[in-house]
Structure 1
Amino acid sequence: MSERETWTSRLGFILAAVGSAVGLGNIWQFPFQTATNGGAAFLVVYLLAVLAIGFPAMLAEFVVGRRAERNPIDAFGRLGHGNWKFAGAIAAFTAFWILSFYSVVGGWVIRYIFGSATGAYFGAPSEYFGAIAAGPDALALHAVFMALTVGIVAAGVDDGIERATKLMVPSIIVLLVGLGAWAATLPGSGPGYAYYLAPDLGALTTNFWSILPNAVGQAFFTLSLGMGAMITYASYLGEDDSLAGDGVTIVALNTLVGLLAGLVAFPVLFAIGIEPSQSGLGAAFEMLAGAFGQLPSPTGAILGVVFFFTLLLAALSSAISLLEVVTSYVVDNYDYGRPTVAVALGTGIFLLGVPSAFGVSNLGWYNAIAYNLLLPLSVLLLLLFVGWVYADGAIGELRQGSTLGEGFNRGWLWWIRVVVPVGVLVTLLLGLQSLALRAGVLANPVV
């Protein structure tokens, strides 16, 4: 078995973790979820979920990963609780599952880069999406996206993942800032900012319980929680790093990117008169493609290429973290080379994603199962383990490299013991209700 790799710097870890968090969840799902859940009302619940649930849960994943120095499945055994390996296995399966359909969406992004350059979607954006979202072309680009992901992971932690994310993450932020500045100059963009940033408190109160599972699921998705990614990345981390300090930086940068994505999407949509609340997983592609298509030539083509290239960088930065979760397990336990493992697992993920490449409704089911079942279940199990089974070890690990007082450590422990699990459990139950409604098992929501 080869010697285990580590990050070459603290910055490398932070950017890799931010890269994992900053992905399609921020730039594709975040505007889509905001638009279909009441605009600024969703934004308020999402931000609360990030602070009250996402950040404490991230520290729990960091504690397990760095203490064990192992992948999510082996981490529990390394900590002396092998009977909890099933929790790590669920997290690893969640990463495998999500990447299978995430890669299909990554293929869409590649197609839209070329579509922007040629103007292929400018005349009929909805018809264009319908033509490219499913079928042999979608399958081929799914394969291309997975090949790019496999190539980066096969190169290793420092030469592949760390080097790639050091380039990708700053590029994503710079490009989004530029696009946001351009969006602010558009006539008629003002209502977009109001829709996005000025919540209707009445709507927030009325729709809170329907918004909550989507907001919490979005927090998990965009912070890469419940997938084993943060456990895996923290396992390559040194003892002198402050987990809380790194966590604050990662959450802040991730949230910034999500907010920037909204500051690009909604002003543009309102400026050209497109209704943002239309539903469907392709809505973000259709709306933004329509926006770029209505701009004068060559401005629309240039901005389309820039935006979708930004989206591709974000997608890859997250995809490599998901593939690394399962790759690290095999590399840690078996005498196979990393490139061989990455190719084999990438092939399996590609095959699991084939149904998503042949039907947007199939992809919708994959996405709903991830949001409403796998992510909250995985996070809930981790919180119960850290808070009630491994509490003393967790506190000890949180102290390493930290300048925060004991009050913070103890407060965090009780927060993840009681408050966060209750919130996640409610989210899980509401998510199961949503799946039942989607399947037609329930006729009306319980709440």
Structure 2
Amino acid sequence: MVQRETWATRTGFILAAVGSAVGLGNIWRFPFVTGEGGGAAFLLVYLLFIALVGFPAILAEFVVGRRTERNPVGALKEYGGGIWTYIGGIFIATGFIILSYYSVIAGWFIRYALEGFRGSYADHIANYDGDPEVMFGALSTGLDAFILHTVFMVLTVGIVALGIRRGIELAVKVMVPAIILLLAGLAVWAFTLPEASGGYAYYLSPDFGVIADNWADLLPAAAGQAFFTLSLGMGVMITYASYLGEDRNLATDGVTIIGFDTGIAFLTGLVVFPIMWAGDMTDPGEGGPGEIFVAMTQAFADIAGGQFLGLLFFATVSIAALSSAISLLEVVTSYAIDEVDLERWQAAVGMGGAIYLLGIPVTYDLIFLDLLDLFADAILLVFGALMLTILVGWIAPKVAIDELERGIGDLDGLGQAWIWAIRVPILIVLVVSLYLGVVDYAEFLTGPFAEWIDTNL
């Protein structure tokens, strides 16, 4: 058995968990999901879910990981036994699939940052018939997308192969503070833009009529975003907590991680929406996964200093993507180390290579991005979180409470209150979200994907 590593410092664990949480889920996904949900209306519901659902859920992954000191498969095998061993494999599969297309998207951000080196975004758009959507369509697939997918996965594998202390912990201590400083600087600059007030109003002034009329859409969307951005249901927090070498206050760590993650997501909105309004891009939520590229490129083309600021923005997101990618690869690497008894470098290279191959079709056609993303995000991620909730809340609650109270004490029944939060509201949210996810995926398979097959095969 390969000797299991541990975090060198509490700060390293916190920054690694924050780094996992603040990646593309916050900066790529959060703006377009917020736009689809009506801006401030979605933001309000999302913040409620983070507090009421996200915090109890992250503690569930923490207690299982620290209790067992294993990867998700080994952790659920030891914690629940029997069929739970196979349930743990869902976490591995989820992280595996998400990273395969996540790497391609990260390559897009690198490409758009490189475009800032080569000239103004206005000139680049002009080369594509003056249409940023045409530009995104050209840059998101093809040879360049394939090459940048390759480069990004090589970087990710290299960091994870170096280990917990020399690789992941050292990297996130540089990357996470850099992300926060760069986003804060961009938010301050965005505040000075003309017409930015419209973006602030859209983002910060909720219309309660929108919430009342669209709550059935807002609730599952906010729940899904909360789980995605906190890296829940992917096995990341189970794996990272398994490297805790001492009794820590998991509740305090959870609050710290969620606070940083939510703060960075909120900060991203303070960057994106004022810039969009300043660039006369006032109809967010229509462009889906490519929206941030289309909208922000057009905005940077229309404002003073856009070339430098666009370069800075897309480079910041590239860093954030890398911090999340290493956490996803660590989940499957940890599995190979624990269960197959491989050396770390062998596990990182082998698993990273397989993930890389799965992502290649996304560089050919974006229909494969939808195929993988909908399956992993709407089904696997939610199903894994649902199973963990049942295990912790209903199958072995006493063990979970005992583990949570290591390092913090009883705190007037905090453990019991947490278990009941796991048992009822979170369970209901996940069941509803899973049902809606299955329905959406079935509609995709019988609709857009079936049409693509008929056209291309």
TM-score bucket of the superposed structures, by smaller chain: over 0.9
1:104–1:139 CA contact under 8 A, matched in 2? yes
1:281 alignment partner, SS class: helix
Match of 2:451? none
Q: In 2 relative to 1, CA 404–310 (structure 1 residues): closer, same or farther, beyond 3 Å?
A: farther
Match of 1:300 in 2: 306
**Distance in 1 between the 2:197 and 2:117 partners?**
29
Deviates more, 1:431-440 or 1:138-147: 431-440
User: 2:424 aligned with 1:435, yes or no?
Assistant: no
AA matched with 1:419: P
Q: Give 1:445's aligned residue.
A: none
Deviation at 1:388, TM superposition (A): 1.1
- 1:19-418 aligned within 5 A: 19-79=19-79, 81-119=81-119, 121-123=121-123, 124=125, 125-275=132-282, 276-296=284-304, 299-403=305-409, 405-418=411-424
- In 1, Cα distance between equivalents of 2:388 and 2:17: 18
2 CA distance for matches of 1:334 and 1:422?
A: 36
Distance (Å, rounded) in 1 between the aligned partners of 2:340 and 2:425: 39
Tell me how far apart the structure 2 counterparts of residues 38 and 432 of structure 1 sit (CA, whole Å): 24
Q: 1:363–1:441: structure 2 CA closer, same or farther, 3 Å change rule? A: closer
Q: Which amino acid aligns with 1:74?
A: G
- In the alignment, is the contact (CA less than 8 A) between 1:239 and 1:400 conserved in 2? no
Structure 1 SS opposite 2:206: coil
* Distance in 2 (alpha carbons) for counterparts of 1:333 and 1:134: 36
What's the secondary structure of 1:122's corresponding residue?
helix
**Which residue identity does 2:431 align to in structure 1?**
L
Residues 213 and 372 of structure 1 are in contact (CA less than 8 Å); yes or no, is this contact kept in structure 2? no
- The amino acid that maps onto 1:326 is V
Q: Would the alpha carbon gap of residues 343 and 157 (structure 1) be closer, same or farther in structure 2, given more than 3 Å must change?
A: same
Please tell me whether the aligned partners of residues 110 and 312 of structure 1 are also in contact (alpha carbons under 8 angstroms): yes
| Contact 1:69–1:236 under 8 Å retained in 2 | yes
- TM-score scaled by structure 2? 0.94
The 8 Å contact of residues 58 and 254 in structure 2, kept in 1 or not, is answered as: yes
Give the alignment's TM-score, normalised by structure 1. 0.96
Letter aligned with residue 342 of structure 1: A
SS in 2 for 1:246: helix
Q: Is the 8 A contact 2:278 2:303 kept in 1?
A: no
2:5 aligned with 1:14: no
Contact 1:76-1:82 at 8 Å conserved across structures: no
- Compared CA separation, residues 121 and 301, structure 1 to 2 (3 A): closer
Distance 1:295 1:271 in 2: 7
Q: CA offset at residue 79 of structure 1?
A: 2.6
Preserved CA contact (<8 Å) 2:279 2:303: no
Q: Deviations over 1:128-152 (max 9, x none)?
A: 2111101121111111111110010
| CA spacing shift, 1:421–1:36, aligned 2, 3 Å | same
C-alpha displacement of 1:371:
2.4
3-state SS in 1 of match to 2:186: helix
Q: Distance in 1 between matches of 2:268 and 2:243?
A: 30
**In the aligned structure 2, how far is the partner of 1:78 from the partner of 1:436?**
34
**Aligned residue pairs: how many?**
440
Q: For the structure 1 residues 253 and 329, does the alpha-carbon distance in structure 2 shift closer, same or farther, using more than 3 Å as the test?
A: same
- Runs of 5+ consecutive residues of structure 2 not aligned to the other structure: 126-131, 449-457
C-alpha displacement at 1:360, in angstroms?
1.7
State whether residues 16 and 165 of structure 1, in contact with CA within 8 Å, keep that contact through their aligned partners in structure 2. yes
Q: Which runs of 5+ in 1 are unaligned?
A: 443-447
Task: Check whether the contact 1:134–1:357 (CA below 8 A) recurs between aligned residues.
Answer: yes
- What is the one-letter code of the residue matched to 1:210? D
The answer on whether the counterparts of 1:213 and 1:428 sit within 8 Å (CA) in structure 2 is no
Q: Percent identity at matched positions?
A: 52
Separation in 2, partners of 1:282, 1:119: 21
Give the superposed CA RMSD. Answer: 1.5
Structure 1 position 264, deviation (Å): 0.2
Q: Please, which moves more after superposition, 264-273 or 276-285?
A: 276-285
Indicate if the aligned counterparts of 2:121 and 2:300 stay in contact, CA closer than 8 A: no
Q: Is the 8 A contact 1:72 1:89 kept in 2?
A: yes
